[in-house]
Amino acid sequence: MVEAARAEGRVAAHRFTERVPWLTETQAEDVQRAYVDAYLSLRRELWREAVGRAGSLRGEYEERYRVLRARVVAGALFLGVGGAGVAGIVVRMLMVGGA
């Protein structure tokens, strides 16, 4: 990623110095070098922010998943207990009605 960003910075720096034709070759190279350094610095900062945001989002989603999982388990238990209760009532009704 760093090499790709460096290449992008070089291309952008070259385009920039092409619009300033009065610079000498040495001056243009100096400007390009400074431009690439600034470009990479900005990209690194953006990457750090993206990594930080990704960590934050991961924490949020893990918490939501934990809560959702607890709700699903509670719902499954509720349905299981309810189903067992209904089955017990039906069996008793059949036993009383059949006896």
Please state the domain extents for the chain.
Answer: 2-98
Q: Which two tokens stand for residue 25?
A: 């070759």
Judge whether 31 and 18 are in contact, CB under 8 Å.
no
Judge whether 32 and 17 are in contact, CB under 8 Å.
yes
Q: What is the pLDDT of residue 9?
A: 93
Q: What is the pLDDT of residue 98?
A: 61
For 67, list phi and psi in degrees, rounded to 5. -65, -45
Q: What is the pLDDT of residue 39?
A: 94
List the chain residues with pLDDT less than 50.
none
Residues recorded for the chain = 99
Q: What is the dihedral of CA 57, 62, 67, 69, to 10 degrees?
A: 140
End-to-end CA distance of the chain: 79
What predicted TM-score, i.e. pTM, was given to this entire model? 0.60
Question: Residues near 71 by Cβ (< 8 Å), separated by ≥ 6?
Answer: none
